Structure 1
Amino acid sequence: MAALVLGLVLFLGLHSTRIFAEGWRTQTMESFGEKEYKLLYSVLSVAGFALLVWGYGLARHNPVILWNQPPVWTRHLASLLTLAAFVLLVAAYVPGNAIKAKARHPMILGVKVWALAHLISNNTLADLLLFGSFLVWAVLDYRAARRRERTLATVIDAGPLSRTILTVVVGVVAWAVFAMWAHRVLIGVSPLGR
């Protein structure tokens, strides 16, 4: 469990600088140089992510059960929520789509939805630590991002309907591939119960 906690602290800690230490982040970037800062940030982020994935895998070998197995319907709800999370994730990268214009920060919202989906359908201490931490982080990060956005008066163009349709189609296809194949291969669990 220590590796999972250390990975979460490193990964989410780095990703929290804009929430808690915007001034420090700006000063550090200026003193290191933007490229150097981003390189170090990326290397440490990958290390933190690898550590939390490894730690979560280790914790799953000897799980600490917190409550009875959630009902089957929570797994179905989680699948629907992760479908929405995939569409939100894609919306962050497709320029000029209405989902991004409305949600403002679709990737962060996608993380919120993904974390909530996994919290309701799992029952171990490792699940609570991993998904609970990401949910709390996403709530705080979304609030900070909206605050920055109001200060800058950012406007996001909704673009043509075709971009929004493309966003939804790519998100649904990515979710289907992950739910029907990749989740089992990478995580060892089939979310659709196959």
Structure 2
Amino acid sequence: MGYALLILGLLVWSGSHMWKRLAPASRARFGEGGKGIVAILSLVAIVLMVLGYRWAPYTQVWPESRSMVHLNNLLMLLSFYLFAASGMKTTATKIVRHPQLWGVRLWALAHLMVNGDLASLILFGGLFLWAQVSVALYNRDNPIWEKSTAPVVMGKEIGAVVGAVLLVGVVGYIHIWFGLMPWG
């Protein structure tokens, strides 16, 4: 049952997030209300993925490597920074196209480095694949990247870095609450 919920969650997540790219006319009919639908479906997808991941039996696919924990944590910090940078329009947004999707890809790869089980492969590999396809679909619809020329406010840059560090701490402690040791 765990794997089924996990896969269903990935499908709901992917479908709701790709709705605008794959069926633009359908998404346009809902106007601003479509954002609410995507938000609700996203919440449902997260619940399904978390429950599916927790309930899936442990099936080892490759040996786990605790020696990669420090690299994992560094990638997590960068991943959270890219999320913050996207919303705050920091320097990263002038260098990296799709910083949030880059953040998802780094997050997924970081978790695949330290988890060698089937549920992790499905969850993190599935979300990595979703991010890759999302980038391809977006770039298909918007092939020209118009970089911002607006000056970057140093306060926003500092805020993104501080926010990323704090979020790594909070998420790390949530992992500990679930019985996982994210710092080695």
Q: Under a length normalisation based on structure 1, what TM-score does the superposition of the two structures give?
A: 0.83
2:10 matches 1:15: no
Question: SS in structure 1 opposite 2:143?
Answer: helix
Task: Work out which of the residue numbers 55, 62, 65 in structure 1 matches 2:52.
Answer: 55
Conservation of the 8 A alpha-carbon contact between 1:18 and 1:144: no
Deviation at 1:175, TM superposition (A): 1.3
Which residue is equivalent to 2:69? Answer: 75
Amino acid at match of 1:154: E
Counterparts of residues 162-177 of structure 1 (less than 5 Å): 162-177=155-170
Counterparts of residues 99-114 of structure 1 (less than 5 Å): 99-114=92-107
Deviation at 1:158, TM superposition (A): 4.6
CA RMSD of aligned residues (A): 1.9
Give the percent of matched residue pairs that are identical in Structure 1 and Structure 2: 30
Report the Cα distance in structure 2 between the residues aligned to 1:158 and 1:138, rounded to whole angstroms.
28
Distance 1:158 1:139, change over 3 A: farther
Amino acid at match of 2:13: F
Report the Cα distance in structure 1 between the residues aligned to 2:96 and 2:115, rounded to whole angstroms.
27
Instruction: Give a deviation string over 1:37-86, Cα, whole Å, max 9, x none.
Output: 22222222221221111111101xx211112232x221221111111111
Conservation of the 8 A alpha-carbon contact between 2:20 and 2:27: no
Report the Cα distance in structure 1 between the residues aligned to 2:132 and 2:147, rounded to whole angstroms.
22
Counterparts of residues 1-194 of structure 1 (less than 5 Å): 1-19=3-21, 21=22, 24-25=23-24, 27-31=25-29, 33-59=30-56, 62-70=57-65, 72-94=66-88, 96-151=89-144, 154-156=146-148, 157-179=150-172, 181-185=173-177, 187-193=178-184
Point out where structure 2 has 5 or more consecutive residues left out of the alignment. Answer: none
Instruction: Give a deviation string over 1:141-161, Cα, whole Å, max 9, x none.
Output: 12333444434x533235233
Report the Cα distance in structure 2 between the residues aligned to 1:81 and 1:45, rounded to whole angstroms.
24
Conservation of the 8 A alpha-carbon contact between 1:109 and 1:142: no
Deviation at 1:136, TM superposition (A): 1.1
Distance 1:142 1:10, change over 3 A: same
- Count matched residues: 181
Indicate the larger mover: 136-145 or 75-84: 136-145
Report the Cα distance in structure 1 between the residues aligned to 2:28 and 2:82, rounded to whole angstroms.
32
Conservation of the 8 A alpha-carbon contact between 2:19 and 2:27: no
Amino acid at match of 1:86: F
Question: SS in structure 2 opposite 1:162?
Answer: helix
Question: SS in structure 2 opposite 1:63?
Answer: coil
Amino acid at match of 1:65: Q
Report the Cα distance in structure 1 between the residues aligned to 2:95 and 2:62, rounded to whole angstroms.
37
Report the Cα distance in structure 1 between the residues aligned to 2:151 and 2:142, rounded to whole angstroms.
16
Point out where structure 1 has 5 or more consecutive residues left out of the alignment. Answer: none
